[in-house]
Structure 1
Amino acid sequence: MSFDPNFSSTSIVSDELLQRIRSRAAGYDASNSFFFDDLAELKDAGYLRMFTPTELGGLGFGLERVTREQVRLATAAPATALAINMHLVWTGVAKTLLDRGDDSLLFVLREAAEGEVFAFGNSEAGNDLVLFGSRTRAEPQPNGAYRYFGRKIFTSLSPAWTRLGIFGLDDSSPEAPLLVHGFIARDTPGYEILDDWNTLGMRATQSSTTVLDGAEVPADRVFRKLPAGPSGDPLIFGIFANFEVLLAAVYTGIGERALELAVDAAKRRTSMKNDGRPYSDDPDIRWKVAEAAIAQDGISPQLFELARDVDALANHGAQWFPRLVGLKVRATENARFVVDQALRVSGGSALSSSSELGRLYRDVIAGLFHPSDGESAHSTVANAWLGPVS
């Protein structure tokens, strides 16, 4: 069952490939290992060049189409989809900027088409300013390059990325500190990937900590210098729009799969006290499945509409950010609710370490921690409707 049953016939991920990816997900989770086989097959299918224009060797997809692909992939392997998101965020940002006349990240789209894997190395422990501040130090070099010193957490795709996007604070001019964005290559000296990813859920993402100890971004890969603090630069919109929409897609996929598992469990389980009749005849079970279905049905329309608006260069003005963070919160919280209802329908078998639904329960918890978190999202929305605190 799917809210878009016809999409499987047009998806670049065939039903057969999707099933192979689903069959590997439990093993990656159990062994806390990276999804190398998934990545290889997705690359062969063109998944990493979806955003790249056809004239540059890509598939020429917009955000709406990529969002639909990510929902579908997440029904099979949420951790694979979440990690791939980080590559898609950068290529999506490059596409968003290009659509608006800014080709500063055109090289990202070209290199993605050539097989490079991009990762997102911006997250920092204790940085609640997110993109408007940084604990990482960016030291300017005489040749226009920058050297970076700091720790980046949740660096998904750690075993496989070939290009890592990072940013840091250049305070060499205290009166005008700058946030400097750039990319390092895998063979750049001056960084270390820690072997510290052993988590409750989303284990296959292998989102290890990256320690920057002088890693140098060449001048031609420094693509933005922005004043510290809030910024209206299109890069900030591009990152927020692609990150929040694609993140919502992954959790929408989790909810969809949980609902499917709940339906299967209700039809499979039988009741001794009701003469062996299936639980799908029980009014309480039917209520829970219906609640989950009603909740799940409400997410995809806004998800696809916002993605479509990004593609169409819609002008929501100051309402863009409230809409984006609202989507992220709704999608992640909704997925938790649907998974919880599915667990109640499925019974104690979901406690088994081999249970797919039990794995979804662990994976969905990660939605609490992605930006924008609940506090930040509510602050954004409150400011939009009430204005800043006086």
Structure 2
Amino acid sequence: MGNGLFLQNERQHQLYDRASQLADQIKPFAKESDKKGQLAEEIIQQLKNNHYLSMTLPEEYGGEHLSLYEWLVMQEKIAEGDGATALSVGWHLGIIMELRDEHKWTEENFEFLAREVSKQKLVNRASTERNTGSPTRGGRPETTAIWDGQGYILNGRKTFTTLASHLDYAIVSAYIEDDDQVGSFLVDMNNLGVSVDRTWDTLGMRGTGSDDLVLQDVRVKQERLVERKSGKRSGPKGWLLHIPACYLGIASAATREAVEFSKSFQPNSLDHTISKEHHIREKIGEMEMLLMRSRHLLYRVAEKWDQYPERRPELMSSLAVAKVSVTNDAQKIVDLAMRVSGGRGLSKDALFEKYYRDVRAGLHNPPMDDMVLEQFAKDLLDD
């Protein structure tokens, strides 16, 4: 196991083994997903066949009520098979974990969604818009919800809607004009007026298929207004650690690939493989050190989250540090892997260049580096 990943009991060992098998099952289809800019149907089917989409549900709904630590163990391993798959399904499972633990919805609405997810249905939030950017930056959504006496009529366009073409439900943020308030609606993707605009064409994480969600006069029942935004600052969200876990998994896969490459590649200028060269060994050693450091940080924070639920508000800074530190370490690890592979790493026939492109996306997932660093500076410098 190594590299700072501590499996503490038999259940965690079993979950790790299940994630390893799932990673092996999805890996053959990762290249197709990357090429098409959509998660391959075979990957979606494997996730469903393995009942992975319901893992964070409470047991009474057919889930396995994963702790944060357990879930990150699985997410990191799946990311070794394909980072885009891990990041995509991470949003779905994280939302379920958040709703499960924070009781943000009415019992009726949560039960409805839980029953659907137990059937391996997919859900994601649709909150980002072209003019407002990430919801973590603030900004009122331009998507509107207007009450017509019988229900709400939604109009708008959402960007970065991960797995848009595969979703069964979307939790859509909108400005409720009658109430002068922002709320979120649970929208069935089969509703009339819901469509997906295939806009996703990016450098990395192409397989997430994060296309635009378009809503044109979409009618939603009153009871599907599932959340209203309060003026209070939101608390810490441990489930967002699925983001650094994903990029750590990519870095781990890149390290393994670099080790295998260095042990097998022997240019005719040497009488041994490059694994005997000092500068290669130094790079491999640094990659291993960064992996170990990142895992210690990530899983220690997750462990605290699970063990001391009453102290979770105190972990806000630790969660932010874990995300920023681990994703930046992952960048360094994959860069070192590219240096080990040399020009061959740029080939589309190799895995290195895909790791290099995918890991870059971690800098643009919340919380962003600048926001975290500014908050720390504010705490220290502003009276």
* TM-score (normalised: structure 2): 0.89
Q: Is 2:45 the partner of 1:40?
A: yes
Which of 243, 247, 254 matches 2:243?
Answer: 247
* Partner deviation per Cα, 1:144-174 (whole Å, 9 max, x = no partner): 743333221111111211010111223435x
What secondary structure does 2:129 align onto? coil
Q: Which residue of 2 aligns with 1:153?
A: 159
State the identity %. Answer: 24
- Give me the whole-angstrom Cα distance separating, in 2, the residues matched to 1:316 and 1:18: 34
- Give me the whole-angstrom Cα distance separating, in 1, the residues matched to 2:122 and 2:13: 25
Q: Which residue of 1 aligns with 2:291?
A: 296
After TM superposition, list the pairs within 5 Å mapping 1:12-31 onto structure 2: 13=18, 15-31=20-36
* Partner deviation per Cα, 1:238-289 (whole Å, 9 max, x = no partner): 7x432x2111111110111111111111111225444x21211111111111
Tell whether the 8 Å contact from 2:172 to 2:186 is kept in structure 1 after alignment. yes
Change (3 A) 1:44 1:352: same
Q: Which residue of 2 aligns with 1:237?
A: 235
Tell whether the 8 Å contact from 2:32 to 2:40 is kept in structure 1 after alignment. no
Q: Is 2:112 the partner of 1:115?
A: no
Moved more, 196-205 or 213-222: 213-222
Shift of 1:345: 0.6
Change (3 A) 1:126 1:330: farther
Which of 278, 282, 286 matches 1:283?
Answer: 278
- Give me the whole-angstrom Cα distance separating, in 2, the residues matched to 1:146 and 1:101: 18
Q: Which residue of 1 aligns with 2:188?
A: 185
Moved more, 196-205 or 315-324: 315-324
Change (3 A) 1:2 1:190: farther
Shift of 1:318: 5.5
Change (3 A) 1:20 1:189: same
- Give me the whole-angstrom Cα distance separating, in 2, the residues matched to 1:39 and 1:78: 14
Q: Is 2:253 the partner of 1:257?
A: yes
Shift of 1:41: 1.2
Query: Which blocks of at least 5 consecutive residues in structure 1 are unaligned?
Result: none
After TM superposition, list the pairs within 5 Å mapping 1:41-56 onto structure 2: 41-56=46-61
Tell whether the 8 Å contact from 2:204 to 2:354 is kept in structure 1 after alignment. yes
Q: CA RMSD in A?
A: 2.6
* TM-score (normalised: structure 1): 0.87
Query: Which blocks of at least 5 consecutive residues in structure 2 are unaligned?
Result: none
- Give me the whole-angstrom Cα distance separating, in 1, the residues matched to 2:40 and 2:380: 43
Tell whether the 8 Å contact from 1:136 to 1:150 is kept in structure 2 after alignment. yes
Tell whether the 8 Å contact from 1:75 to 1:257 is kept in structure 2 after alignment. yes
Tell whether the 8 Å contact from 2:39 to 2:207 is kept in structure 1 after alignment. yes
